[in-house]
Structure 1
Amino acid sequence: MADLSSLKDLGTATEATASAPVHVKKVDAQGRSYATGKRKNAVARVWVKPGSGKITVNGKEFAAYFARPVLQMILRQPIFAAARDGQFDIDATVAGGGLSGQAGAVRHGISKALTYFEPGLRPVLKKGGFLTRDSRVVERKKYGKAKARRSFQFSKR
């Protein structure tokens, strides 16, 4: 009977420690954090390191790659939400999808990489919804339909 009671005590101790996840800093040998961001069909690989705030996407300055101000704003949202403007250099490579999906993918990647570099930022970015992958994708075309849901034109005669 004494053996079972000790097992019961052991079980409650492991439950208490396992309930709260601990987020640790993940940095490579060059002092960078890496994360993958996704949106629609676009996939972005993002590296974050301390620096002057320079953002490059596919080897270009981000303002040259994403010409529309809306896409630039989307890209910088997690940096402003975390109040880290001008503190990190961000290098991203993105492929697939269109410009809007690519901007969303880079935003997702920046958010994840910032949490890996500085785990204390996780609650702020989580509250802003930047860590959640936007799962909306184009619906597939069905047979017997003109598009995903549109039927062919009906002919009475």
Structure 2
Amino acid sequence: MEVINTSGRRKTSVARIYLSQGEGKITVNKREFADYFPSEVLQIKVQQPLELTNESGKYDIDVNVQGGGINGQAEAVRLAISKALCEINAEHRLTLKPEGFLTRDPRMVERKKPGRRKARRKFQFSKR
């Protein structure tokens, strides 16, 4: 099996992954996976597609992720892994699609408008 290269995005985070045959080692930005995502919730979020398709421990994943916060990065990695698993075996799509792991979440932070404090926040108004 050759190396599979996919990318995933969430908010302003972009994750590029290189998935190859191996023993289940995940490195994120040249650091240990558990070291980069210290929260157990984020670790579970990243491993969800592998657990769902029973592919955990079969592939080595090298991740480059940048931009955004730690939660957005974890969800970007999850999308990239899901896309890579579908490239390996098209039948994985049937299990990943209903869970929403193949859907790019388009929600972004709304920009600040001129004359306002935030995107929608208006200044305090008093009638008197």
Residues 33, 114 of structure 1: 8 Å contact kept: no
1:106 corresponds to which residue? 77
State how many pairs are aligned: 128
1:143 aligns with 2:109: no
SS in 1 for 2:74: helix
Shift of 1:154: 2.1
The CA deviation at 1:61 is 1.1
Partners of 1:130 and 1:85 lie apart in 2 by 16
Three-state SS of the structure 2 residue aligned to 1:154 is coil
Query: Structure 1: which 4+ aligned runs deviate by more than 4 Å?
Result: none
CA-to-aligned-CA distance 1:17-56 (integer Å, 9 cap, x gap) = xxxxxxxxxx7xxx11111100000000011111101111
Q: Secondary structure at the match of 1:56?
A: strand
Contact 1:81 1:128 (8 Å CA) reproduced: no
Distance 2:53 2:83 in 1: 12
How is 1:1-157 mapped onto 2 (pairs within 5 angstroms)?
Answer: 31-156=2-127
Matched residues, percent identical?
Answer: 53
Q: Give me the TM-score of the superposition, normalised by structure 2.
A: 0.94
Question: Over the residues paired in the alignment, what is the CA RMSD in angstroms?
Answer: 1.3
Unmatched tracts of structure 2, length 5 or more: none
Which one-letter code corresponds to 2:34 in the other structure? A
Supply the distance in 1 between the matched residues of 2:5 and 2:89 (Cα, whole angstroms): 12
Higher strand share: 2
Cα contact 1:32–1:117 (8 A) shared by 2? no
Considering fraction of residues, name the structure with more helix.
1
Task: Answer with 1 or 2: which has the greater Rg.
Answer: 1
In 1: Cα distance, 2:43 partner to 2:6 partner: 19
